[in-house]
């Protein structure tokens, strides 16, 4: 099903009409609306999970947890709105003695207007209709128009209806959250002159096409895309000696989690030659199982992506797991010199339960191979206190938005300090799509010069500043 051009126009017009109401809404109002949406998801979790499981086959346990994560994100952003520091309120008082004389300047961040959000396939709740992009855009004060993912259309419609109704019942205007369907409608949405920004989670090819449409408009708009990521892991010789089996088991659990369909899956793992780490992985992997992939397109692409890696002359199949519905987890093995020679082949993301182990002989080989790694959401370093890893760490942090020193990257806490974004092709920007700072994507700076107080936005008036974090004449003020 595809949303018609006429229907798309009506949907965007409704969002544009709602935008001034969202922009003028108080923190208390906006927080109430967000919590109402969260409550609606929780109250209907069983029905939502049932539909989601039919369409995605992710299982009730995983999906139930994802509903809780999604409602939790909405509640987090309600608290972000109430706390107020996201506004970046900044005041410079007038000073006639300055050279040149300084006027009074009051700066804040203000909403952009209607935001387009493109749902992801692998997280049908947390990165979909009411997911993090939608939650952060609403929290910033913008109506949202969601392009449903074709992998879960019934769930998308059900979620959109529940959340839109909850928002309106709580006092938000009509047009606060709407849904469109079909690729053509998605392309038209990102080009519509009343849409002011877009958020996307998906493939490099799909994201790049939309990014180009957003940038090619007569009035280009910001496009916040989360695209491909191989999430490199480095394991040192000392780390293998200290915890070889635990690391091997952890790696297998991580790259097969969700049948390898997490954007933070460790896709390439640099291991020291001669330590036997690959043997430990080979011993652990046969107990891991495959499973159905999310969509027909992903199911068709996985064998081709796997074959692309296996066809490289340096690559061998190290071990595999249990085949389920035609999908078998696989660990491949190559060497650092080959990665340096053919990064376009060996460092291409393969969405599904596969990881590539890369043996390195020394630090120089390791660093040359890391230098070939494209931008990623995460990088993981397993080392021991005896290791000198400063140069390795420097390379890893240049290539990722989050660097882990323990555990595995397939888990993204929704917090104030989270960073879920990295250099291209991980994302099209340097902002995060998870956590409190995700709100910054859907705001723009606005300064008022010598404005009469009655004409200032409420949050920039002196009486409001007594309770909001702000900076005045260069000094940070945090109300008690």
Instruction: Tell me what the pLDDT averaged over the chain comes to.
Output: 97
Q: Is residue 192 within 8 Å of residue 8, measured between CB atoms? A: yes
Q: How far is CA 470 from the centre of its chain?
A: 28
Just list the catalytic residues. 226, 263
Q: What is the pLDDT of residue 430?
A: 86
Residue in the structure block whose two tokens are 């969601």: 146
CATH class of the domain defined by 233-404:
alpha beta
- The string of pLDDT tens digits covering residues 373-382 is 999 999 999 9
Model-level pTM?
Answer: 0.95
Q: Is the pLDDT of residue 480 over 90?
A: no
Residue 1 — pLDDT band, cuts 50, 70, 90? confident
Euclidean distance between CA atoms 338 and 344, whole angstroms? 11
Tell me the HSE value of 173 on the side-chain side, using a 13 A CA sphere: 19
| Residue closest to 142 by CA, chosen among 66, 82, 196 | 196
Using DSSP bridges, classify how beta strands 197-201 and 115-118 pair: parallel, antiparallel or unpaired: parallel
Ramachandran assignment for 400, one of left (phi > 0), alpha (psi -120 to 50 degrees), beta (any other): beta
CATH architecture of the domain covering 5-227+429-477: 3-Layer(aba) Sandwich (3.40)
- The string of pLDDT tens digits covering residues 352-389 is 999 999 999 999 999 999 999 999 999 999 999 999 99
- The string of pLDDT tens digits covering residues 219-250 is 999 999 999 999 999 999 999 999 999 999 99
Q: Is the pLDDT of residue 413 over 90?
A: yes
- Give a three-class secondary structure readout of the chain: CCCCHHHHHHHHHHHHHHHHHHHHCCHHHHHHHHHHHHHHHHHCHHHHHHHHHHHHCCCHHHHHHHHHHHHHHHHHHHHHHHHCHHHCCEEECCECCCCCCECCEEEEEEECCCEEEECCCCCCCCCCCCCHHHHHHHHHCCCEEEECCCCCHHHHHHHHHHHHHHHHHCCCCCCCEEEECCHHHHHHHHHCCCCCEEEEECCHHHHHHHHHHHHCCCCCCCEEEECCCCCCEEECHHHHHHHHHHHHHHHHHHHHHHHHCCCCCCCEEEEECCCCHHHHHHHHHHHCECCCCCCHHHHHHHHHHHHHHHCCCCCEEEEECECECCECCEEEEEEHHHHHHCHHHHCCCCCCCEEEEEEECCHHHHHHHHCCCCCEEEEEEECCCCCCCHHHHHHHHCCEEEEECCCCCCCCCCCCCCCCCCCCCCECCCCCCCCHHHHHHHEEEEEEECCCHHHCCHHHCHHHHCCCCEEECCEEECCC
- Residues 286-290, mean pLDDT to the nearest whole number: 96
Q: Partners of 331 in the beta sheet? A: 319, 355
C-alpha distances out from residue 148 to 2, 71, 141, 305, Å: 10, 19, 21, 26
Euclidean distance between CA atoms 71 and 49, whole angstroms? 13
- Residues 151-163, mean pLDDT to the nearest whole number: 97
Q: What is the pLDDT of residue 174?
A: 98
Sequence-distant (6+) residues with CB within 8 A of 301 are 351
Euclidean distance between CA atoms 192 and 12, whole angstroms? 8
Percent of the chain's residues with pLDDT above 70: 100
Query: Domain boundaries in the chain?
Result: 5-227+429-477, 233-404
């Amino acid at each position: 099903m595809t949303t018609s051009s006429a229907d798309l126009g009506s949907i965007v017009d409704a969002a544009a009409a709602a935008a001034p109401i969202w922009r003028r809404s108080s923190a208390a109002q906006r927080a109430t609306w967000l919590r109402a949406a969260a409550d609606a998801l929780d109250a209907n979790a069983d029905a939502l999970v049932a539909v989601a499981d039919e369409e995605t086959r992710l299982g009730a346990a995983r999906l139930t947890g994802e509903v809780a994560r999604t409602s939790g994100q909405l509640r987090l952003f309600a608290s972000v709105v109430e706390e107020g520091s996201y506004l970046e309120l900044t005041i410079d008082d007038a000073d006639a003695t300055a050279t040149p004389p300084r006027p009074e300047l009051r700066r804040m961040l203000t909403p952009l207007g209607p935001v387009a959000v493109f749902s992801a396939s692998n997280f049908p709740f947390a990165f979909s209709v009411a997911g993090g992009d939608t939650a952060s855009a609403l929290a910033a004060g913008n109506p949202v128009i969601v392009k449903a993912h074709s992998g879960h259309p019934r769930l998308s419609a059900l979620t959109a209806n529940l959340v839109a109704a909850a928002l309106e019942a709580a006092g938000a205007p009509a047009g606060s959250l709407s849904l469109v369907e079909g690729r053509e409608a998605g392309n038209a949405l990102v080009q519509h002159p009343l849409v002011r920004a877009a958020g996307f989670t998906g493939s490099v090819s799909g994201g790049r096409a939309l990014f180009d449409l957003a940038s090619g408009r007569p009035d280009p708009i910001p496009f916040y895309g989360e695209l491909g990521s191989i999430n490199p892991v480095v394991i040192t010789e000392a780390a293998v000696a200290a915890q070889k089996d635990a690391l091997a088991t952890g790696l297998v659990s991580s790259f097969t989690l969700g049948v390898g369909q997490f954007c933070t899956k460790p896709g390439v793992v640099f291991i020291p030659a001669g330590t036997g780490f690959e043997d430990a992985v080979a011993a652990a992997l046969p107990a891991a199982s495959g499973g159905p992939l999310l969509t027909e397109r992903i199911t068709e692409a996985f064998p081709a992506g796997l074959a692309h890696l296996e066809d490289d002359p340096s690559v061998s199949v190290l071990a595999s797991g249990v085949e389920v519905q035609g999908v078998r987890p696989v660990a491949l093995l190559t060497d650092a010199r080959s990665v340096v020679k053919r990064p376009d082949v060996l460092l291409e993301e393969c969405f599904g339960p596969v990881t590539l182990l890369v043996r390195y002989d020394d630090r120089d080989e390791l660093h040359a191979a890391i230098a070939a790694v494209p931008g990623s959401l995460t990088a993981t370093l397993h080392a021991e206190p005896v290791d000198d890893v400063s140069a390795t760490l420097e390379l890893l942090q240049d290539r990722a938005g989050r660097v882990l020193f323990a555990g595995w990257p397939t888990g993204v806490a929704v917090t104030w300090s989270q960073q879920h974004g990295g250099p291209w092709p991980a994302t099209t920007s340097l902002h995060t799509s998870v956590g409190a700072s995700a709100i910054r994507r859907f705001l723009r700076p606005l300064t008022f010069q010598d404005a009469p107080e009655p004409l200032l936005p409420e949050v920039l008036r002196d009486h409001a500043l007594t309770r909001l974090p702000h900076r005045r004449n260069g000094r940070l003020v945090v109300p008690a």
